[in-house]
Structure formats: C-alpha cells, structure tokens
Amino acid sequence: MSKISSILAKIIDDSRGESTIEVTLTTEAGTSAVSSIPSGRSKSTHEAAAIPAKDAAENVNTILNEKLKGIEVSDLKAIDSLMIELDGTSNKSNLGGNAILAISIASAKAAAVEANMPLYKYLGQLSGRLKQSLPIPILNVINGGKHAKNDLTYQEFSLMPVGFNSFAEKIDASITVFDELGEIMKKDNLNLVMGDEGGYAPSGINNEQAMEYLVRAIKNAGFELVKDFKIGFDIAASSMVNYAENAETYFKMLQKYPILVLEDPFSEDEWHDWTEFNLRLQEVTKDVVVVGDDLFATNASRLKQGIQANAANGIIIKPNQIGTLTELFEVTDLARDNDIHMVVSHRSGETSDSFIADLAVGVGAEFFKAGAPNVNNPERMNKYTRIKEIEKELK
C-alpha cells in the first residue's frame, strides 16, 4: 500500500441545495478516491459536529492535508486517531466531523482500490466480518416531521419488502407500490409535493390516514401485507415540537399494522421510557425491532448504556453521527456481539456518494435506509442500485 500524497476538498450542493464538502484523496501510487458528506435535519444532540462547509473545506486543504501526508493509506486507525487528536474536542467541533469523516471514508476507498478488493469486502475486513450479507431495505415513501412541510408528526412511513427472493426484486416491487401510492393520493386530490427523502409529503392528512394510504397502496399494487411487505415507522420523537405520544399509542399501532421496525419512539435521553417499553414489548412479541437513532447517535458509549438498560434491540448506523470509520466499527462490533439489529442509514440531505451501500453489506447490517424508491432522486436510487450491483457480484 502506498502513502497519502494529497487531500483536497471543494464545496458542492447536497440534495437540499445546501453546501457540503467533497474530498479527493490521492496516494503516491496515483490512486484517487472521492467522498462527499451528507447532512441531517433531524439530529441527535449527541452527534459529531458538522461545521460550515467553507470552514470544513479549509481545514481539509490546510491542516489535515499537511498533517496526513506520508501516512500509509491502509492504516485507517492511524489516520483517524491523528485527526481526532488534531481536533482535540469531544465532538469534533474544531476541525469538523464532516471534514474528518470525508477523509476517513476516502482513505478506506483508496485502500480498497490498492488492495484490489471490492469496497464492501474491504469494509467487511476492517470491521472483522468476513461474510457479507444483503440487507432488507426500509423505504421512506411518506415524509413527515422535519423532512416535510405538512401536518404529519411522524417523520417516516416506510415500506419494508420482506417476501421477495432478491434485493433487486425488493426494490422493483417497492417502486410499484410507490407509484401506486402516488396514484391513490392523486385520485383523492392530495398534493403530491415531495419531502426531503424523496417520498410524498401531502398536507391535510394525519398520521393514521398516512398509514392507511400505505396499506391501500400495498394491496392495490397486488401484494400482501406480512407476506410481501411489512411497515416501518420513524417517530423521531426528539424532533417533535409538541411530543404527545406514549407507549399505549404504539401498542395500538402494533396491533393494527404489520410493523417490523419502530424507530425513535421516545426522545433521546428518556432512558426509562425506552426500557419500560422495550421490556413490555418483548413479553408480547420478539418480531418488532425497536431502533435507537437519536438515542444512540452511532456512539459506542451510548450503545453500551442502551444494552445495559435493555432500551432497544436495534440501532441506526450513520457515519456522520460519529465522524470516523474506526469509531463506527467499534459500534458495529458491539452491536453484533450483543444481537442488536443494525440499520445503516442515509441522511435527509444526501449526496451522490453511494458509500453507505457498501458499508451496509460489509458490516452485515440487517436493514438499509436510503429514502424513497423515487427514480427522480438519483442520490437515493444510486445507493439501492449499488446494492443491486453487489448482489450480482456475490451471486
């Protein structure tokens, strides 16, 4: 493996038209790798800090470019450790979690090329997982909360294709349901404005009506609930302006709808509510995955606390919540060792970088989120397309 020769950043727009950074890392052997960093609108207060793109790019082009030159590109721990040390804060707010992560990802990409390995396989090797597997997609087809300008307080209403033979079939079937959902809403004279994650974001309906539209679309498209599709919800309780949900509301939902994943039903520091709900749910069923996103923030210490408290049995994995791949792999190792389901996830402000698709396969995540199966949103679809490509390779 060769050494890093240069790291350069420039400013690009994400899917919301907001500024973010793109980093190009080059090695002495001439290998070049590019990474770009998404941003979230619904955030945990425990995430790594994303500083303004202009400042992050400057930090890459000056401090980090200078300090990282000459390090073996394959020595990810050395690269990440040095960046953390140079930053000197607990949340990467000095150099920027966005600047640090862009370099961490670009380093892994370049090293995979020089090792002549597919990126997903190289990431699996880094994370200590030698066998790759394909995830079940979670497709956010109705957007609410901070991801839309409507009356829906829940942030995501998602399709979960569970009854198909391949990842490609799962995506194709989901596109069919997504299109049918649009037709149904159009017939009911709902506005078909799109939310941040490429799903429909109609006004004038409430959470329960949105759920019913989802069920109708699945059935109208010729599929069966439970057998072909289950449903996922992201409540995003920490982001609710007037949070008024409780465990009883969720238990009623679970009785009425075939829910497989329930994400962030309580706010990020309400540990008692999480534990009480999860323990009670385990007595009723073990088929529902209660997922912590804002609760865990892809942070090993918070996941350890959650495991000890029995607060959830699933975790969202978002690279930019923690800021380096080395720290992320600590989280995926901990989750795997404690039978915590992993959901590798995008952000609401996305880029064309499909890195998280390789990451999901590499670490063996059970689930994968990249937004709606909307062919007009390439920053979402290219991630699903990448996993379809990986599926062909693995076969």
Check if the beta carbon of residue 46 is closer than 8 Å to that of residue 81.
Answer: no
Question: Which pLDDT belongs to residue 315?
Answer: 98
The active-site residue, picked from 197, 263, 268, 379, is 197
Separation in Å, CA 318 to CA 113, 309, 325, 385: 23, 22, 10, 19
Pair 294, 271: CB distance under 8 Å: no
Radius of gyration of the chain (CA): 20
Choosing from 318, 330, 379, 383, which is the catalytic residue?
318
How many angstroms from the chain centroid is the CA of residue 119? Answer: 18
Between CA 289 and CA 298, with CA 292 as vertex, the angle to 5 degrees is 125
Of the listed ranges 36-45, 115-124, 210-219, 297-306, the one predicted with least confidence: 36-45
Provide the CATH number for the domain formed by 136-394 in this structure: 3.20.20.120
Give the pLDDT of residue 149: 83
Is 4-116's fold the same as 136-394's? no
Per-residue confidence at 131, pLDDT binned at 50, 70, 90? confident
* CA-angle at 15, arms to 9 and 21, nearest 5°: 10
| Nearest partner of 136 among 264, 262, 230, 214, judged by Cα | 230
Residue 241 has pLDDT above 90, yes or no: no
- The 10s digit of each residue's pLDDT in 142-198 is 999 888 888 899 999 999 999 999 999 999 999 999 999 999 999 999 998 999 899
As a whole number, mean pLDDT of residues 372-387 equals 96
**What integer pLDDT is reported at residue 239 of this predicted model?**
79
C-alpha 264/C-alpha 144 separation (Å) is 14
> What single letter denotes the amino acid at residue 373?
P
197 catalytic residue (yes or no): yes
291: nearest Cα among 244, 338, 234: 234
Contact 6, 25 (CB under 8 A): yes
Q: Which residue has the higher pLDDT, 266 or 395?
A: 266
pLDDT beyond 80 at 36: yes
Q: Please give the backbone phi and psi of residue 261, each rounded to the nearest 5 degrees, phi first.
A: -125, 130
pLDDT > 70: percent of the chain: 98
**338-358 confidence digits (pLDDT tens):** 999 999 999 989 999 999 999
What's the confidence (pLDDT) of residue 69? 98
pLDDT at residue number 147: 80
pLDDT at 242: 59
Structural domain boundaries of the chain?
4-116, 136-394
Backbone angles phi, psi at 209, to 5 degrees: -65, -35
Second-level CATH architecture of 4-116:
2-Layer Sandwich (3.30)
> What is the average per-residue pLDDT within 109-124?
98
Return the amino acid letter for 272: H
Question: Does residue 244 surpass a pLDDT of 80?
Answer: no
**pLDDT recorded at residue 132:** 85
Q: CA-CA distances (angstroms) from residue 26 to 109, 287, 320?
A: 11, 46, 22
pLDDT score of 145: 87
* Per-residue model confidence (pLDDT) at position 142: 96
Measured CA distances, 36 to 10, 105, 114, 307, 340 (Å)? 10, 9, 20, 32, 28
CB 66 within 8 A of CB 83: no
16 vs 11, residue with greater confidence: 11
Tokens, residue 348? 């609401």
**pLDDT exceeds 80 at position 130:** no
Between helix 247-256 and helix 271-284 the angle, nearest 10°, is: 30
Upper half-sphere CA count for residue 114 (Cβ side, 13 Å): 23
Name residues whose C-beta falls within 8 Å of residue 265's C-beta, 6 or more positions apart in sequence: 235, 237, 245, 247, 250, 274, 277, 290
Quick one: 131 exposed, middle or buried, by C-beta within 10 A (0-12, 13-18, 19+)?
exposed
Among candidates 340, 318, 338, 369, which has minimal Cα distance to 136? 369
> Per-residue pLDDT tens for 66-107?
999 999 999 999 999 999 999 999 999 999 999 999 999 999
Residue 42 has pLDDT above 70, yes or no: no
What's the confidence (pLDDT) of residue 20? 97
Token readout for 211 is 């759920």
Tell me: the pLDDT tens digits for 187-222?
999 998 999 899 999 999 999 999 999 999 999 999
Please check the confidence at residue 387 and state whether its pLDDT lies above 90: yes
How does residue 240 score in pLDDT terms, banded at 50, 70 and 90? confident
Is 90 exceeded by the pLDDT of residue 304? yes
